[in-house]
Structure 1
Amino acid sequence: MKQLYGVIGNPIEHSMSPLIHNDAFVYLGINAYYHAFRIKEKDLGDAVKGFKAIGISGFNVTTPHKVEIMQYLDEVDELAKEIGAVNTVVSRDGKLIGYNTDGIGYVRSLQSISKGPLKEKNILVLGAGGAARAIFVTLASMGVKRVDIANRTKERAKELIRFYNDEVNANAFSIQEAEAVQNLYDVIIHTTTVGMHPNTEESPFSLGHLKEDCIVSDIIYNPLETKLLRVGRQQGAITQNGVDMFVYQGALAFELWTGILPNIERMKKLVTTKLGG
């Protein structure tokens, strides 16, 4: 009998997780199937019970369930606890165990294009929501030299930093304050939805005087090149869209389930082609 995996969210119809995971199962000869489940917020507890009852092997978690799912799991990994969210659940010995591969998936994707170790970089994170927290906590836990946060509401940036105040060199800025000192940073990471389809001409940050060889990274992958990335590219920056983060976090989830790291380049090509790139 095929093993069952899946992703839960609401909405979920747009998810490309079934595309990459089902292809990986076929490519690696694993007898399994991955399905997208639309689960309403009020039904989350019942859905988790149902998954346990049918013996699901694992599943991903996306918006809006990443925080609420934690109360329904048997165990939660320490890093996921620190981040405060779960995006991957593994069934092991009858228990459902929660992990978060968003932060480490993103960091690995970023390291893949960095000319040197991330630990030595000055990094600016734009935004202070769930994705920013996952990335910030992961970078901080790695001992990165400096990770500053810029957000429209400066107080939210301060709250995020406060959690790791003694463990990372970090400052909170408004967007305007960060724009004025952008040439200090080796890496600028955008984590909000500003610039996502259909509002593709919006930009969260005004790029004007970037450091030489600066990396500008955007976790958005629709469009493949946001206005922020286009302006960064025109100014000579190394740019990265959200396909890399999506694929790396998915590959790490796949490895947690099966013990096998799938072909990341194959996954990336599938997603990019699907998006028209």
Structure 2
Amino acid sequence: MTTPFAEVIGDPIAQSRSPVIHRFWLEQLGIKADYRACHVPQDSLAHYLSARRNDAAWRGCNVTMPHKQAIVPLLDHVDPLAARIGAVNTVVMEDGKLVGTNTDAAGFLEPLRPLLQRPHLFCMARIIGTGGAARAIVAALAPFNMVLVLAGRDELKAQALLASVDPAGEHHAVPLAHFAQATDFAFDDREGCLDLVINASALGMAGQAPLAFDFSHAPPGSICYDIVTSPVDTLFLQRARAHGFATIDGLSMLIGQADHAFRRFFDALPPRDADDRLRQLLAS
């Protein structure tokens, strides 16, 4: 009997930690299945989907860069959230059709939900990045009536992202350099407010340029969230803690989005009571 499997696809793909997460959960639950990493070059994406469509053992795939947006027109159906985001990170077979969804938004929100469920006088998020992850984060935060300030190398791209994902929101686009330069803005009393500073870009990742962010832009009590996972404890997070801010690392979003994908692939709830051990594996 062929072993059921799911996988993560991308170009490159060797850096992905998704196999560690899913294999850990499969082992913990005693499920006889596998989860792999599959290198799919950009010009082979359509061929990959055609081959997997007819593979009875295939339970679906996670999608990482650079395919999250390119895969959308190749699918039979995309759910409303993924369509609004304009990016798919999870594909499954449903009734013989390739169906795309996006679990990045839910994964991003997971560590923030206790805070977002409280009443606040005012909520603002400063977001760095205009890629697929940023689109998911804007879509995730939009229902919470949060003012978003989106920074990107291309300010027009940031404006277009906000207009397409949440056209009714009260949001602002700024150039990336805006947050790199010090400000003497005097923040008012932030009691009762929720302020987030989010790195949704690859800046600060191993092999990439560091994130240039001046913490004079972060109001007192801000929470700093970095989606980068290599390294887990980025320089941005280290500097945030040095300035007295609470932090959330990229493993929170990575594990959170994998949770929702795992349920779809293997029809089981992942053992989240083992998160500490999983984090140790991912950090090693």
The two structures share one fold, judged by TM-score above 0.5 = yes
Match of 1:252 in 2: 260
2:81 to 79, 82, 85: 79
Q: Write the distance in 2 (CA, Å) between the matches of 1:230 and 1:182.
A: 24
Q: Could you tell me the TM-score, scaled by structure 2's length? A: 0.87
Match of 1:218 in 2: 226
8 Å Cα contact 1:248-1:264 kept in structure 2:
no
Deviation at 1:92, TM superposition (A): 1.7
Within 5 Å, give how 1:26-41 maps onto structure 2.
26-41=27-42
Quick check: 86-95 or 165-174, which moved more? 165-174
Q: Write the distance in 1 (CA, Å) between the matches of 2:87 and 2:167.
A: 22
Quick check: 64-73 or 229-238, which moved more? 64-73
1:243 equivalent to 2:244? Answer no
1:168 equivalent to 2:169? Answer yes
Match of 1:205 in 2: 213
Divergent runs of 4+, >6 A? none
Quick check: 179-188 or 2-11, which moved more? 179-188
RMSD over aligned Cα atoms: 2.4
8 Å Cα contact 2:110-2:252 kept in structure 1:
no
Q: Deviations over 1:94-118 (max 9, x none)?
A: 2211001112210123335769468
Name the CA shift for 1:119/1:156 in 2 (closer, same or farther; >3 Å).
farther
Q: Write the distance in 1 (CA, Å) between the matches of 2:223 and 2:155.
A: 23
1:90 equivalent to 2:76? Answer no
Q: Could you tell me the TM-score, scaled by structure 1's length? A: 0.89
Q: Write the distance in 2 (CA, Å) between the matches of 1:182 and 1:243.
A: 33
Within 5 Å, give how 1:17-32 maps onto structure 2.
17-32=18-33
In structure 2, the residue corresponding to 1:247 is in which secondary structure?
Answer: helix
Deviation at 1:67, TM superposition (A): 1.4
Within 5 Å, give how 1:99-248 maps onto structure 2.
99-111=101-113, 116=118, 121-140=123-142, 142-164=143-165, 166-178=167-179, 180=183, 183=187, 186-199=195-208, 202-208=210-216, 210-248=218-256
8 Å Cα contact 2:149-2:172 kept in structure 1:
yes
8 Å Cα contact 2:139-2:166 kept in structure 1:
no
Quick check: 28-37 or 118-127, which moved more? 118-127
For structure 2, the 5+ residue unaligned runs are 189-193
Partner AA of 1:37 in structure 2: C
Partner AA of 2:65 in structure 1: T
Name the CA shift for 1:13/1:121 in 2 (closer, same or farther; >3 Å).
same
For structure 1, the 5+ residue unaligned runs are none
Name the CA shift for 1:256/1:163 in 2 (closer, same or farther; >3 Å).
same
In structure 1, the residue corresponding to 2:92 is in which secondary structure?
Answer: strand
Deviation at 1:212, TM superposition (A): 2.4
8 Å Cα contact 1:8-1:38 kept in structure 2:
yes
